[in-house]
Amino acid sequence: MGSADSTPTAEDDDEESLDDNTSITSELFGGKNVFYTCENKKISLVMDNIEDQTTDVIVNTTSSSMNLNIGGMSSALSKKAGPALQAAVNKKKASPVNDIIDTETAGCNLSCKRVYHVSLDESSSDGSLVKMTKVVMDCLKLADKSKLQSISLPALGTGILSYPPQKVAAIMLGAAIQFSKDNPNSTLQLIQFVLLPSNKKVVTAFQDEIQNSSQRKNAELDNDRENIFCTKERKRVSLVMGAIEDQSTDVVVNTTSPTMDLNVGAVSSALSRKAGPALQAAVNRKRGAFVNTGDIVDTETTLCNLSCKRVYHVSLDMTSSDESLVKLKKVVMDCLKLADKSKLQSISLPALGTGILSYPPQKVAAIMLGAAIQFSKDKPNSTLQLIQFVLLPSNKEVVTAFQKELKNPSDSQQTEDDLYISDLDDQDTFITDWRIWKDIVKGVLKDEFGGENVETQQNEGKSVFKPCLDMYLLCKMFDRF
């Protein structure tokens, strides 16, 4: 429900040079007003009035008395909404400063579903800026909790309170990016910062911060490229250097002994220590006296000190024979199928068997990554979007084996055209594989941009000239033609 972004149209670009790749492709990548997080959430800057936005939520900043006639933004919102908005606030107020008053917009002359009213400290001290971070995060969390999809926020505190624009931009955009990282499966897809075009300092500060965020993201993607793989079915397979017990995916897979004593084995004991006694108690309620190799004991994490929703406990053969490796693939596939059956979206698995059992790392990497790719092929419509392999950074042999296998998956039959480029994968324009785009682009841009085809080809009433030109230049950049 977000309002239209202030991006140039094809007509605006008539006088642009075709050699200016940066300007031609600015709309495709968002330019200085749009940023996509690694979780594919859209953060955009809109030059407009806050009261005219059509997102699910509008955030309003007002006085601690919640009198909507105080403050330029609040009074503009109240004027457009009519008296029903103040009445809704009056019914719900009596909250301290920094709390959110959430009002519905029934009976108001607004296009949003809800308005979140917040009050800020009157001074722009460091303490006040820290509180502002919490205000932004709390607004985003509340929208997510309410299963809403879009939100508009003003540049908080940059009006009569005179908060420094550069700090406000860094705090607000930083909070949005952090929220996206912490909540990759959030329903909130669009976070929109609404700026008054007349306030050049604020606009420049936010645009500078968008650019800085893009540069930081590109640096992160450069570092992570060898650790990310996207299947043809758009499932993400990634390597994470860290501890299995710290993962926040929906599921964490644990490998332990057939007796299901969680104090046996490095992975299991680390998980048990962090979770507390509730995890072993949950296992005890569900297991028998002995668990067969390959069986999965599925436990919830209620009362456990873990960030995941469920833990799948498995036991492996004590020897790394060929038969044991076949069973290993079945264990991985069964874990993925169970997560899919439970409508879960993400799962973390350790490098199974590479610890005390001494399974060969290269074979384990090939089997586990092969199982992930095979699952993606078999279940293209699965809810499971992220399959994450968690590796200990200190175990260089295992890390190297998984990185090598991720770069050249031995079980994958996919061609280069079927794979996404890791550092572009987050752009929402890359929803079609390159082969389809090549057909479209070549058809529209035949004869090197010449002929009536360029000007007259229509797609649902809109000229496809500019997006095809964007894609043509990108294809040329990556030698796809």
Three-state secondary-structure class, residue 194: strand
Is 94 found in the same domain as 212? yes
> Bridge partners of 191?
43, 151
Is 164 found in the same domain as 217? yes
Q: How far is CA 80 from CA 90, 256, 467, in A?
A: 18, 62, 37
**Which CATH number goes with the domain that contains 191?**
3.40.220.10
Q: Contact at 8 Å (CB) between 46 and 3?
A: yes
CB atoms within 10 A of CB 296: 15
For the chain, the residue count is 481
CA distance 31 to 209: 12
> Bridge partners of 298?
312
Is 167 found in the same domain as 296? no
Q: What is the dihedral of CA 338, 339, 343, 344, to 10 degrees?
A: 170
Q: How far is CA 457 from CA 25, 161, 437, 443, 471, in A?
A: 20, 52, 15, 10, 16
Nearest-CA neighbor of 107 among 85, 76, 74? 85
Predicted local confidence at residue 3, as pLDDT: 41
Q: How many CA atoms lie within 13 A of 480 on its CB side?
A: 23
H-helix or E-strand spanning residue 44: strand 42-47
Tokens representing 35?
Answer: 């940023």
Nearest-CA neighbor of 245 among 216, 223, 261, 265? 265
SS3 labels along 260-277: CCCCCCHHHHHHHHHHCH
Pairing between strand 346-350 and 386-391?
A: parallel
Task: Map tokens 């006088």 to a residue.
Answer: 15
Q: Which domain holds residue 67?
A: 11-225
Single out the residue in 225, 255, 288 at which a domain terminates: 225
CA distance 426 to 93: 40
Q: How many CA atoms lie within 13 A of 137 on its CB side?
A: 15
Predicted local confidence at residue 322, as pLDDT: 86
- The single-letter code of the amino acid at 198 is S
Q: Contact at 8 Å (CB) between 185 and 251?
A: no
- The single-letter code of the amino acid at 341 is K
Contacts of 381 (CB under 8 A, 6+ apart): none
Single out the residue in 225, 250, 276 at which a domain terminates: 225
Per-residue pLDDT 10s for the chain (481 aa) are 444 343 333 333 333 333 333 222 333 344 578 888 877 789 999 999 999 999 999 999 988 888 898 888 899 999 999 999 999 999 886 554 447 889 999 889 999 999 999 988 887 777 788 888 889 999 999 999 999 999 999 999 998 888 999 999 999 999 999 898 888 888 999 999 999 999 999 999 999 998 888 777 665 655 555 688 888 888 889 999 989 998 989 999 999 888 888 988 889 999 999 999 999 999 998 876 567 888 899 999 988 989 899 999 999 988 878 888 999 999 999 999 999 999 999 999 999 999 888 899 999 999 999 999 999 999 999 999 999 999 998 899 999 999 999 887 664 434 333 333 333 333 333 333 344 444 444 454 444 444 444 333 434 343 444 445 555 455 544 443 3
Residue 424 lies in a domain: no
Is 215 found in the same domain as 138? yes
Is 238 found in the same domain as 219? no
Is 271 found in the same domain as 207? no
Residue 144 lies in a domain: yes
H-helix or E-strand spanning residue 389: strand 386-391
Q: Considering its fold, how many domains does the chain have in total?
A: 3
Nearest-CA neighbor of 47 among 241, 265, 215, 194? 194
CA distance 184 to 163: 30
CA distance 43 to 428: 12
Is 177 found in the same domain as 264? no
Predicted local confidence at residue 221, as pLDDT: 56
Which DSSP category does 35 fall into?
Answer: E
CA distance 98 to 156: 12
CA distance 51 to 59: 10
Is 363 found in the same domain as 452? no
Predicted local confidence at residue 224, as pLDDT: 58
Q: Contact at 8 Å (CB) between 89 and 101?
A: yes
Single out the residue in 382, 413, 444 at which a domain terminates: 413
Phi-psi region of 45 (alpha: psi -120 to 50; beta: other; left: phi over 0): beta
CA distance 372 to 387: 7
Q: How far is CA 136 from CA 165, 191, 210, 400, in A?
A: 15, 11, 17, 40
Nearest-CA neighbor of 244 among 350, 344, 339? 350
Is 436 found in the same domain as 299? no
Residue 127 lies in a domain: yes
Is 241 found in the same domain as 103? no
Predicted local confidence at residue 91, as pLDDT: 86
